[in-house]
Amino acid sequence: MTRTTEAEIVKLEGISKRFPGVLANDRVDLTVQAGEIHAIVGENGAGKSTLMKILYGLYRPDAGAIYLRGQRQSIDSPGRAVALGIGMVHQHFMLIPAFTVTENVILGHEPSRAYLDLKRVGARVAELCQRYGFSLDPGARVATLSVGEQQRVEILKVLYRGADVLILDEPTAVLVPQEVSELFANLRALKAAGKTIIFISHKLDEVLEIADRVSVLRQGRMVGTVEAARTDKRSLAEMMVGRPVLFNLAKPNVTPGEVLLEVDGLTVPGRGARPVVNGVSFKVRAGEVYGIAGVEGNGQAELIEAIMGLRAASRGAVRLQGQPVTGLPPGELRRRGLAFIPEDRHKRGLVLPMTIWENLILGFQREPGFSRPSGLHLNAIMSHSDQLRRRFDIRLSRLENPVLALSGGNQQKVILARELSHDPRVIIASQPSRGLDIGATEFVHQQILEAKGARKAVLLVSADLEEVMSLSDRIGVIYNGEIVAELAGDQATPQELGLYMTGGKGKAGEGVPA
């Protein structure tokens, strides 16, 4: 039992939370002072969201205690958290676009049981807006609002329910700089009114601008808490990202050949005013691995979807072996020698209820070798599948089993086997080792390097810095939908990359002072 004071409005002590396969929070201690703006930073998967969801009652901790205003509390549901004065603004808005601002704010917390006096309630909402300096029209339909305004509605919801502690989860992820300034002005007004704000982010310059104190989480552990005024981006990035590189694979020595994949000024519209991919350009040559490093949510997923023809781009072009392929459907791209290892293998990569051999030919079911006029050429398919099984060491009991029976690593091998076995010229691998153990990860990396050795062009997208650094010849850092830096693979350091990934520096070209 530690002593805690009223001034420490929120105190988390020894919080641990485990999910299948991962320890999300490992004995985390956190103290938030009343009336401060406290930022929690860390990479993806560092455990920030989990910690806050525990505070908000969405998860129960496996170990540890929560103290509010000096009193120990058990928060077992969001309802309880709200009753205790904690409010959470989620990263993905829980709004109803067809409803007005007022209707969204009061839903579930209506002032009466039956009749809804919208005028009276609207006045109350307007009064709240006035008090905290939000400029919102209570009668406006949320669908017509900008993303920044929608976020303000979410904050209003929380204030309407009487929150003293506001948790904001990656609030600036979807905002343009102008909207970020407006949000910060609102936050300062809230602070002046006595509210406490906990702010989750990975964008260090914004964090330093608004927060009083900053806590850094890394791989589920609390690294430390510092005062914003007494630290800088570099130190924070180092705390966030620094870790030893696990293994070093031998990279084949290949001189890059002709440009096989070219992305030119690609722009993809987003939800709000800001495009989610903004004028991205890069080239990938034969025998080269081009890695796109970045914290998830900075546009990588949309960029890959646009290249693959799964999402429409508003501007720009994609060229495959010199041929323009912008907007062509995925089938056509595959025919032209493009292989795709998707980041969500269950969603885009496999049909889980189907058998392993069926998944091994997904997309290739009409190839002349696999199908005849009378139907699928089972003998050819099965022997091909068997070959793939051996070549890629896929651990399975029978090819006729459904693919969902395989482990994550073996499922990924199925995808790799399928995509790599048709001799593609360009390979796009998006988060290829996500959710895989060390052994499977090593295998994936091996395959990528072999492809490089076979003079293919590999576009690697990964949130895992080690992966990007150990495999890439060149690294492009993506931040806010733009490539902000392009570095040579063997020269980049984790600190430098971490800095760019969190918005530290400017665009490509700015040097790094020693």
Partner 1 sequence: MDISELVASALRMSVPILLTALGAVYTERAGVVNIGLEGMMIAGTFWGAVGAYYYGPLAGVLLGMLAGMALALIHAVVSVTFKINQIVSGVALNILAAGLTRFLCIQFFSMATTSPEVHPFKAWSIPLLDRLSFLKPMVTGVSPLIIVALLLVPVTHFVLNRTVFGLRLRSVGENPLAADTLGVNVALMQYLGVLISGALAGLAGTYLAVEHTAMYIEGMTQGRGFIALAAMIFGNWAPVGAMWASFLFGLSEAVSFRVVATKIPYQFIKMIPYLVTLAVLAGIVRRATPPAADGIPYERGGE
Partner 2 sequence: MSETITSPAGRSAAQTPPTPAPARHWRFRVLPADPQARRFFWWQLATPFVAIIFASFIGSLIMLAIGKNPLTVYAEMFAFSFGRIDSVATILFRATPLIFAGLACAISFRVNLFNIGVEGQYLIGAVFASIVGFGLKGLPAYIHLPLVIIAAMVGGVLWAWLPAYLRVKRGVHEVISTIMMNYIAFSLMHWLIADVFLDKTQVVGAGGMGSPRVRMPIIQPSARIPTMHGFFAHLGINFPAYVYVNWLLFVGIALAAVLYYVIWRTPYGYEIRAVAQNPDAAEAAGIDARRQMFRTFLISGAIAGLVGLSDLLAFFGYLDIDFPRGRGFDGIAVALLGKNDPFGVILGALLFGFLSRGAEGVQVFAGVPAEVITIIQGVMILSIVVAYEIVTRYIRIQKKKEAQ
Q: CB nearer to partner 1: give 114 or 514.
A: 114
Binder to partner 2 among 106, 260, 277, 308 (CB under 8 A)? 308
Triad 348, 352, 357: Cα angle to 5°: 100
Question: Does position 247 bind partner 2 by CB under 8 A?
Answer: yes
The separation between the first and the last C-alpha atoms of the chain, rounded to the nearest angstrom, is: 46
Tell me how far apart the alpha carbons of residues 175 and 148 are, in angstroms, rounded to a whole number: 6
The 3 state secondary structure assigned to 320-355 is ECCEECCCCCHHHHHHCCEEEECCCHHHHHCCCCCE
Question: Does position 78 bind partner 1 by CB under 8 A?
Answer: yes
Question: Does position 1 bind partner 1 by CB under 8 A?
Answer: no
In whole angstroms, how far apart are CA 57 and each of 83, 156, 200, 232, 337? 11, 20, 17, 33, 49
Q: CB nearer to partner 2: give 222 or 448.
A: 448
Binder to partner 1 among 63, 94, 123, 438 (CB under 8 A)? 94
Binder to partner 2 among 79, 387, 422, 493 (CB under 8 A)? 387
The two most distant CA atoms of the chain are separated, in Å, by 79
Q: Which of 466, 84, 80 is nearest to 243 (CA)?
A: 466
Q: Which stretch binds partner 1 (CB under 8 A): 97-105, 237-245, 387-395, 458-466?
A: 97-105
- DSSP code for 263: E
Q: How far is C-alpha 5 from the geometric centre of its chain's CA atoms?
A: 36
Question: Does position 128 bind partner 2 by CB under 8 A?
Answer: no
Helix (H) or strand (E) holding 442: helix 438-453
> With CB cut-offs between 5 and 8 Å by kind, which of partner 2, partner 1, none does residue 506 bind?
none
Question: Does position 99 bind partner 1 by CB under 8 A?
Answer: yes
Q: CB nearer to partner 1: give 57 or 275.
A: 57
Please state the closest distance from residue 308 (CB atom) to partner 2, in A: 7
Question: Does position 162 bind partner 1 by CB under 8 A?
Answer: no
Tell me how far apart the alpha carbons of residues 452 and 429 are, in angstroms, rounded to a whole number: 13
Binder to partner 1 among 83, 107, 192, 246 (CB under 8 A)? 107
| Structure-token match 């205690």, residue found | 65
Q: CB nearer to partner 2: give 169 or 466.
A: 466
Neighbours of 80 (CB within 10 A): 14
Answer for the pair 37, 191: CB distance below 8 angstroms, yes or no: yes
| Structure-token match 């696990």, residue found | 246
Q: CB nearer to partner 2: give 195 or 334.
A: 334
Please state the closest distance from residue 383 (CB atom) to partner 2, in A: 5
Q: How far is C-alpha 306 from the geometric centre of its chain's CA atoms?
A: 17
Number of residues near partner 1 (by CB under 8 A): 23
Tell me how far apart the alpha carbons of residues 364 and 371 are, in angstroms, rounded to a whole number: 9
Answer for the pair 328, 342: CB distance below 8 angstroms, yes or no: no
| Structure-token match 């290829």, residue found | 432
| Residues 395-414 interacting with partner 2 (rule: CB under 8 A) | 397-398, 400-402, 404-405, 407, 409
Q: For 506, how many CA atoms within 13 A lie in the half-sphere containing its CB?
A: 3
Burial of 20 (0-12, 13-18, 19+ CB in 10 A): exposed
> With CB cut-offs between 5 and 8 Å by kind, which of partner 2, partner 1, none does residue 369 bind?
none
Please state the closest distance from residue 213 (CB atom) to partner 1, in A: 29
> With CB cut-offs between 5 and 8 Å by kind, which of partner 1, partner 2, none does residue 95 bind?
partner 1
Q: Which stretch binds partner 1 (CB under 8 A): 34-42, 104-112, 167-175, 244-252?
A: 104-112
Question: Does position 114 bind partner 1 by CB under 8 A?
Answer: yes
Binder to partner 1 among 5, 6, 19, 438 (CB under 8 A)? 19
- Report the interface residues with partner 1, using CB under 8 A: 19, 58-59, 78-79, 94-99, 103, 106-110, 112-116, 118
Q: Residue numbers of the site for partner 2 (CB under 8 A)?
A: 20-21, 247, 308, 310, 329-335, 340, 342, 347-354, 358, 362-363, 365-366, 371, 375-376, 378-379, 382-383, 386-387, 390-393, 397-398, 400-402, 404-405, 407, 409, 437-440, 442-443, 446-447, 450
